[in-house]
Amino acid sequence: MSVELFVTDKAGLTKFYEAIISKNETYAPVEKFGKYDFKRVSSFDACNPDAPIAQTMSAKPLFFPRSAKIMKYTADHSGTTVKETDEDSLAGKRAILGMKHCDARALQVLDKVYNWDYIDTDYQRRRENTVIISARCDKAETHCFCTSLDYDVEHSDAMDVAIVNGTDGKVFIEARTEKGKVFLKEMNIEQRISNNEFQVTDETAPAAVKQQYEAFAASFRLKMDYTEVNARLSKIFDSPEFENVSANCISCNTCAFVCPTCHCFKISDEKVKDTGVRYKSYDSCNNGYFTLMAGGHNPRPVKYRRWRQRALHKFVYYKERFGENLCVGCGKCTNSCPVNISIFEVVKQVSETVSV
């Protein structure tokens, strides 16, 4: 974590964003039908880096695409040959604007599983080549609970460049990683300072940044003692409470598809005659047909068991295996759920039925 902290104002920030867009392959939230999704942008007017959390999709598809071609093949009477697919369009050097801290943190969580028993080189390359510029939220939205979980939101190094809004229109910019420092240099930080677009901060700046964090942390509706919850959850596999909390679920796949940390996938082949393409696409463990096997066996036909698996994977199993929570507390699942099931409420309600 760096202590190079710079200050500018809204106009300076906009110029900075514009410069990023003109010098880099940039992805930012673009609005369509009232929802923001991360798309490649070539001008600042086309995007909104301050899109509201509830209306913004995760940037995860820029690292783990919704559908990726993983191979091409020919299969005819002479045998099967496998060919490489086309160039990965997401593997170039690029910058992402408008990712929230939770979304950026989710990538650090996913890094664990993608570097585990199999090193996913596509994912690695995309991670290495990406610079994340993330503005810390000024206040939490209805379903946010990132500060209740087991990571340090205030000093997070999940993003390379962090932006914090101070009071009186000041905007603080800080490189949190080495990559971020290099990026700021590439974006002519010294020149901006000599042009007075940016200023080096004085000793009051860290306090101002901390003040913003304090106001932000106080704005949360949802708070829980995560260690307590995790301790209880590890004991309640058989709790009948799971049936109650999952009764409303319609197994529609939405939560897993919008979640920044979910990483289940399915493989499908698109074949015509002798040639085909193999896709890896998003899947959801809540789906009634999840991992349906040839022969018809369904490992989890009962809904509350699927929900139990989802909750425990997020809050217990992943933690046991990798030391990190698989949930970052962004609330996207609850926002998108057609019946507003809140994973926070599920986990809290179930853990309350356990005596430690």
* List of residues contacting another protein (CB under 8 A): 32-35, 37, 57, 66-67, 69, 142-143, 221, 247-248, 250-254, 257-258, 266-272, 275-277, 279, 281-284, 287, 289, 292, 301-303, 336, 338-342, 345
Residue 94 contacts residue 26 (beta carbons within 8 Å): yes
CB of 212 or CB of 335, closer to another protein: 335
Residue 159 or 249: the one with the smaller Cβ distance to another protein is 249
CB of 288 to another protein, least distance (A): 9
CA dist 95 and 108 (Å) reads 17
CB of 303 to another protein, least distance (A): 7
CB-nearer residue toward another protein: 22 or 248: 248
Neighbours of 244 (CB within 10 A): 14
**CB-wise, 179 or 266, nearer to another protein?**
266
Distance CA 102, CA 263 (A): 16
Residue 80 CB, shortest distance to another protein, in Å, is 16
Question: Whole-number minimum distance, CB 81 to another protein, in Å?
Answer: 15
Q: CA 356, CA 81: separation in Å to the nearest integer?
A: 57
Q: Rank residues 112 and 278 by Cβ distance to another protein and give the closer one.
A: 278
Nearest distance from residue 66's CB to another protein, in Å? 4
Spatial CA neighbour of 104 closest among 165, 158, 39, 185: 158
Q: Which is nearer to another protein, 163 or 245 (CB)?
A: 245
Q: How far is the CB of 239 from another protein (least distance, A)?
A: 16
